[in-house]
Amino acid sequence: MSGGTVVADQSLQDELNPFLAMAKRFDVASDHLGLDQGVREVLRTPDRELTVAIPILMDDGTTRVFTGYRVQHNFSRGPCKGGIRFSPDVHLDEVRALAAWMTWKCSVVGIPFGGAKGGVICDPRELSQGELERITRRYTASIMDILGPDRDVPAPDMNTNEQTMAWIMDTYSMHVRRTTTAIVTGKPIAIGGSRGRTEATGRGVMISTREGMRRLGMDPGVARVVVQGSGNVGGIAALLLHREGYKIVSISDMYGTILNDGGLDVPAVMTWLKEHRRLEGYPEAEHLANKEQLELPCEILIPAATENQITSRNAERIKAKLIVEGANGPTTAEASKMLDDDGVMVVPDILANAGGVTVSYFEWVQDRMGYFWTEDVVNSRLEQVMATSFDDVFGVAKEHDVSLRIAAYMLAIDRVATVYRLRGIFA
């Protein structure tokens, strides 16, 4: 391998490192704020990191040891909040970045949480339901000392769901000898979950898309929308946008992409996906490889799958005028600059997908007071939070002549820094 290739490979690895990507945006926003170097150091550094071994008796009688992480990035504004993901690709830098993003996400929408994230290195597709339950319960027991309704409140994330949260709630409750519904959010409604929680992240993406369109003066009736992903974020966002009159021309899952230039019948697509578990074979569309989807002609692109989808290697071929980030970290820092230079409006992840953590906050509040709201009330309050937060970010962007992403970071970091200064350093 030549020296140039080594440098290029290292450069790409650095670009795709989510913690470095978060740090770059943090530094740019901090420069605009004129943030003191000491405060920067505090806010950049996770408050606590925990790595645990998870020994599990498998169905075949063998024992395997899995690795789990929980990173608590910042406590200053309230209990830590953040999802738990199960994936073979989980690594500590990813969890650190996601925890920091949660801090900024909670701050940008003004809810009184800090940021956390957790993960277990495993492939859920290769595990039985019983093995997943044992992993979840042992992982919960291993991080018990740092969890609690006033300490750290987990939620679902990639490859985890309301059943996972029910196992965590039960495990925690059995250890503390009392039913503690507020220990997690994203639970089944029967055990303290909130109405509207499942749709919340997708609904927040829909609201962010509408607000972005309004600022750009674009007509929803003629805008073509490409949605990368078809799960609780992408699929629900596509359904809600379809109901609002947007033309969804493409949706994808992990196996492939479907395209219909005339507009997809999104309810029919989601019914097919539910019945067949993949988009493959859907009859009313052209089928493409996933690598082609992001570069399709469209006005609106919603990357709602995973990190590092838009990079310096494909950003110049993106044709959308508006990108709404449904996933966490779908655009690298280098790609963000290229899109900004091309005049593309990007509604950043810490704003666009904050609907989930907002309704998680609503769920936590309802659990704490033992009184539950109707879905209409939940959706109305989510609408108010998301629209107000978009206005706040847009105002900062205009005032400081920066992108929406840097404006969102500036707003979030300034709010956390203000609390830190007021509280001071405990000694």
The alpha carbon of residue 268 and the mean position of all alpha carbons in its chain are separated, in whole angstroms, by 26
The pLDDT value given to residue 170: 98
For 351-367, letters b (16+ CB in 10 Å) and e give bbbbbbbbbbbbbbebb
Q: How far is 23 from 175, CA to CA, in rounded Å?
A: 37
**Are residues 140 and 118 in contact, defined by beta-carbon separation less than 8 angstroms?**
no
Query: Which regions of the chain carry the CATH code 3.40.50.10860?
Result: 46-189
**Are residues 350 and 408 in contact, defined by beta-carbon separation less than 8 angstroms?**
yes
User: Exposed, middle or buried by CB within 10 Å (0-12, 13-18, 19+), for 154?
Assistant: buried
Find the mean pLDDT for residues 25-34: 94
**Type of residue at 280:** E
Q: Which of 58-67, 79-88, 304-313 has the lowest mean pLDDT?
A: 304-313
Cβ atoms within 10 Å, residue 401: 9
The alpha-carbon radius of gyration of the chain (Å, integer) is: 21
Task: Please tell me the CATH superfamily of domain 46-189, with its number.
Answer: Leucine Dehydrogenase, chain A, domain 1 (3.40.50.10860)
Task: Give 295's DSSP letter.
Answer: G
pLDDT tier at 307, thresholds 50, 70, 90: confident
The pLDDT value given to residue 3: 59
Q: What share of the chain is helix, strand, coil (3-state, %, to 5)?
A: 50, 15, 30
pLDDT tier at 232, thresholds 50, 70, 90: confident
Distances (CA, A) of 381 to 97, 132, 204, 215, 271: 28, 34, 11, 22, 29
319 labelled catalytic: no
Q: How far is 242 from 44, CA to CA, in rounded Å?
A: 39
Q: How far is 205 from 402, CA to CA, in rounded Å?
A: 21
The pLDDT value given to residue 4: 60
Q: How far is 179 from 160, CA to CA, in rounded Å?
A: 21
Query: Which regions of the chain carry the CATH code 3.40.50.720?
Result: 198-352
Does residue 381 surpass a pLDDT of 90? Answer: yes
Instruction: State how beta strands 48-57 and 63-72 pair.
Output: antiparallel
Average pLDDT over the chain, rounded to whole? Answer: 94
**Are residues 226 and 298 in contact, defined by beta-carbon separation less than 8 angstroms?**
yes
Distances (CA, A) of 51 to 45, 47, 327: 17, 14, 25
Instruction: Give the residue from 327, 324, 320, 342 showing the smallest Cα distance to 405.
Output: 324
Which of 117, 187, 247, 321 is an active site residue? 117
pLDDT tier at 64, thresholds 50, 70, 90: very high
Find the mean pLDDT for residues 321-343: 94
Cα torsion angle, 232, 235, 241, 243, sign:
negative
The set of residues, in sequence order, having a beta carbon less than 8 Å from that of 247 and lying 6+ positions away, is 221, 222, 223, 224, 225, 263
**Are residues 91 and 127 in contact, defined by beta-carbon separation less than 8 angstroms?**
no
Output the DSSP codes for 90-132: --HHHHHHHHHHHHHHHHHTT-S-EEEEEEEE--GGGS-HHHH
The pLDDT value given to residue 78: 96
Find the mean pLDDT for residues 293-306: 96
Q: Which residues are paired to 287 by β-bridges?
A: 258
For 255-264, letters b (16+ CB in 10 Å) and e give ebbbbbeeeb
Find the mean pLDDT for residues 68-96: 95
Find the mean pLDDT for residues 143-166: 96
Cβ atoms within 10 Å, residue 254: 12
Does residue 56 surpass a pLDDT of 80? Answer: yes
Find the mean pLDDT for residues 22-28: 90
Does residue 229 surpass a pLDDT of 80? Answer: yes
160-194 pLDDT, tens digit per residue, is 999 999 999 999 999 999 999 999 999 999 999 99
Does residue 46 surpass a pLDDT of 80? Answer: yes
Judge: domain 198-352, CATH 3.40.50.720: yes
The pLDDT value given to residue 26: 93
188: three-class secondary structure by DSSP:
coil
For 82-121, letters b (16+ CB in 10 Å) and e give bbbbbbeebeeebbbbbbbbbbbbbbbbbbebbbbbbbbb
